[in-house]
Structure 1
Amino acid sequence: MKILQKYFGTEIIRAVAFVMLALLALFSFFDLMKELQSVNSGSYRLLNAVFYVLMGLPGYVYEFMPIAVLIGTIYVLAQFASNSEFTIMRSASMSTVTAMTMLMKVGLIFVALTFLFGEVIAPASTKFAESMKLKALGASQKKEFRTGLWTKDLVRENGLSGEITGSRFLNVKEITAARQLKDVRVYEFDKEFRLNREVTAVTADYIGKNTWRLTDVAETSFPLTLSSEDINKVKTARYPSRDVISEVTPEILTVLFADPDRMSAVDLAAYTRHLVDNKQDSERYEIAFWKKVTYPLAILVMMALALPFAYLHVRSGGVSFKIFSGIMIGMVFYLINSLFSHIGLLNTWPPYVTALVPSVLFMALALTGLRYVERH
């Protein structure tokens, strides 16, 4: 069985690599055509566009790995069936359980690769590519609201520790490629949600340890009550610079512009905790987190879906038809996986249920198909 395991692994890895290269070449071409519209804007040149597209490939590797594994495995198993190799293997006492076990062992290699690309390579390359593009274009990130970007954190007695004394709302008009904030407004409220301080600054730079250095600062303090007698107690002071300690970091602000599906599970978990602590809606990011955790396991589901194709006789359809079937199944899985994210968000399903349902459905389909071909 060791020889068979090696044979299965070698053929499947080779086929999956070929399918993945074809998918990457196709989508790289589309992305490059899209990037050509930005070429010659600022210092953004064709070489920058090519580099930007290349940096986006790890994200596609993660995204299309289940489809590539499905198509590649179906191709190999269909070849085994057409050459009667699979029939000979079964005659040599290879059971369905043994075949499934060998496929799962090969699948674990792709699970590890998917996890590596999804957690380490793709998030880093995507962040680097976006930063490079913004610098070349001389552009900045802006939220699609006229009032700019809004986020919230808690105010504590000793900066990041101690008793909670209120809440803080941060408004930023834009973020530069160097992660500098421009046109900053900070509104601080006490526990009763009474405004006690407003801070405006021209810029804000992150100097580490959860500290932002605001420049050209105007700080307005309000009394707890604003009656006609207390109106004179409103005071405004100006400072060249002012430090603010906040739970909000550049990484958290970057999340607001990033696609959750391209973020790592670690970043998603950190941002979800931030939202929960500040009593904000976190369901979208919780769903993205659970999808990130469970997505590599879809590789094993795809392997199980491919196995029934090895039992189909040649007259049941040629290799081309089986590969086409694999492409269709892969696309349906991709669409359903994306669809359930939106359905789960709209129906407030538990995030882990939303993430697992597509894989469970397709695993049930795989087992049903395997049982059918064994009986017939």
Structure 2
Amino acid sequence: MNWRIKQVDRLVAYSVLSAVLATWLLLTGLDAAKAFIGAAADIGQGNYGIGAVMLQILCTVPRRAYEWFDSAALIGSLLGMGALAGTGELIALRSAGLSKLRICLSVAWSLGVLTLLVAVMGDTLGPRGEQQAQSLLLQAKSSSVAIGQRSMGVWARDGDTFINAKRGITRQVQGLREVQLSDVRVFEFAPKGQLLSIAVAESAVHSSGQWTMQKVRKTEFVDAQANSTTEASVSWKSGLDPRYLALSIVQPAYLSISDLRRNIRALKRNQEFSRPFELAYWAKVFWPLNVLVLVVCVLPFAFGALRSGGMGKRIFVGMVLAIGWNFLQRALVNVGAVYNINLAFATLLPALLLALLAYLYFRRA
């Protein structure tokens, strides 16, 4: 097989990339419009107006574009190949001696550079835009909570008390949303600005309407002395609203690879639960490979459908395959996490299984 770029590669690239870009723009636009409609319901809370909503949604566009690219690549590739099939060019390529594998690899080559560019965007503009969007949302709705940059974490104010948490997560426990802060520091000041005490806690959890700090070391400053005490658990009386704290917490899937790696190291060093960050880390690392493997391995199974169906059928096939792939990937990753299988292998396993099926198909063909 001659692997040099030929006219056929340019033909396939033009047809596929134009369809992928159009599909990508449509999916991202619909997702942003849906988010705008949902956010518009909160207009009027604090300084949250139509301008703040539009700016917030605009900041999340890079993240949304990254999340929808895999589906757009799959559906767009099917549409592009369907366009070639509709004009008879796909049959002409097959008659000229090009195998299905060679044509599918032309699709992969045309998508390869774009996929890498999107991966870079998802690791740079996506996390920064998401953080900026959440910061804008908090500034408009609440003046007591702010998002710090990089390792600064979350800052919040409760009267004369200032709270800093390096990390935070939200989770569902028995149907209730729970906010957990890690590596917490609470600075208590007097009305005139004197520092009264510093409390350092391993974690702080808001559950059942109250805050509880674990493994607390508190230092109180009285006159010229500093008195330190240590307690395993302390009930924290704070009027800090966990709803706004939940808004300030950036989800692991929205962090960059470097930030995820930094959080994983910190959590493991402190012997804390790091699995959500590890899952997000390996999903980002293998994302370009998963996209290309999915496109290359699915196209051969759709060749027959592309020759006999119209655009509606191609879109339906693409949607079914994209949804099926997402379910398979999540199921295998969750099973691997439950049985303590290496998370890198569990994340890569769906792509390996799909590649094996494709290999058997091409070998038989």
TM-score of the aligned structures, taking structure 2 as reference length: 0.71
Tell me the equivalent position of 1:221: 228
Does 1:348 find its partner at 2:340?
Answer: yes
Q: Quote the offset at 1:367 in angstroms.
A: 4.0
Distance 1:279 1:127 in 2: 27
The gaps in structure 1 that reach 5 residues or longer are 153-169, 174-182, 189-194, 202-215, 224-252
Mapping of 1:290-309 within 5 angstroms? 290-308=282-300
Give the 3 Å change call, closer, same or farther, for CA 256–286 of structure 1 in structure 2: farther
Distance 2:276 2:108 in 1: 31
Tell me the equivalent position of 1:28: 32
Tell me the equivalent position of 1:64: 68
Distance 1:281 1:255 in 2: 21
Does 1:151 find its partner at 2:165?
Answer: no
User: Which range is displaced more, 47-56 or 331-340?
Assistant: 331-340
Code of the residue aligned with 2:251 in structure 1: it is: D
2:92 to 88, 94, 113: 88
Does 1:185 find its partner at 2:199?
Answer: yes
Give the 3 Å change call, closer, same or farther, for CA 309–346 of structure 1 in structure 2: closer
C-alpha contact (below 8 Å) 1:24/1:60 kept by paired residues: yes
Does 1:327 find its partner at 2:307?
Answer: no
Give the 3 Å change call, closer, same or farther, for CA 342–315 of structure 1 in structure 2: closer
Distance 1:287 1:305 in 2: 24
Distance 1:289 1:217 in 2: 48
Q: Any idea what the Cα deviations from partners look like across 1:250-295, whole Å, max 9, x if unmatched?
A: xxx9999221111111100011011111122222211211111001
Aligned sequence identity (%)? 24
The gaps in structure 2 that reach 5 residues or longer are 146-153, 157-167, 172-176, 188-196, 203-214, 231-244
C-alpha contact (below 8 Å) 2:81/2:306 kept by paired residues: no
Q: Quote the offset at 1:93 in angstroms.
A: 2.7
Distance 2:346 2:300 in 1: 27
Tell me the equivalent position of 2:105: 101
Mapping of 1:2-41 within 5 angstroms? 2-41=6-45
Secondary structure of 1:38's partner?
A: coil
C-alpha contact (below 8 Å) 1:187/1:197 kept by paired residues: yes
Secondary structure of 2:115's partner?
A: helix
Code of the residue aligned with 1:199 in structure 2: it is: T
Q: Any idea what the Cα deviations from partners look like across 1:86-111, whole Å, max 9, x if unmatched?
A: 12112223233422331221121232
Secondary structure of 1:198's partner?
A: strand
Give the 3 Å change call, closer, same or farther, for CA 268–254 of structure 1 in structure 2: farther
Code of the residue aligned with 2:42 in structure 1: it is: S
TM-score of the aligned structures, taking structure 1 as reference length: 0.69
Distance 1:123 1:81 in 2: 39
Does 1:198 find its partner at 2:212?
Answer: no
Q: Any idea what the Cα deviations from partners look like across 1:95-129, whole Å, max 9, x if unmatched?
A: 33422331221121232122112111100100111
Distance 1:138 1:40 in 2: 12
Q: Any idea what the Cα deviations from partners look like across 1:12-68, whole Å, max 9, x if unmatched?
A: 111011111111122112111110122121111111111111211211111111110
C-alpha contact (below 8 Å) 2:40/2:50 kept by paired residues: yes
Distance 2:333 2:14 in 1: 35
Code of the residue aligned with 1:120 in structure 2: it is: T
Secondary structure of 2:102's partner?
A: helix
C-alpha contact (below 8 Å) 1:81/1:312 kept by paired residues: no
Code of the residue aligned with 2:296 in structure 1: it is: A
Does 1:270 find its partner at 2:262?
Answer: yes
Superposition RMSD in Å: 3.4
Distance 2:86 2:95 in 1: 16
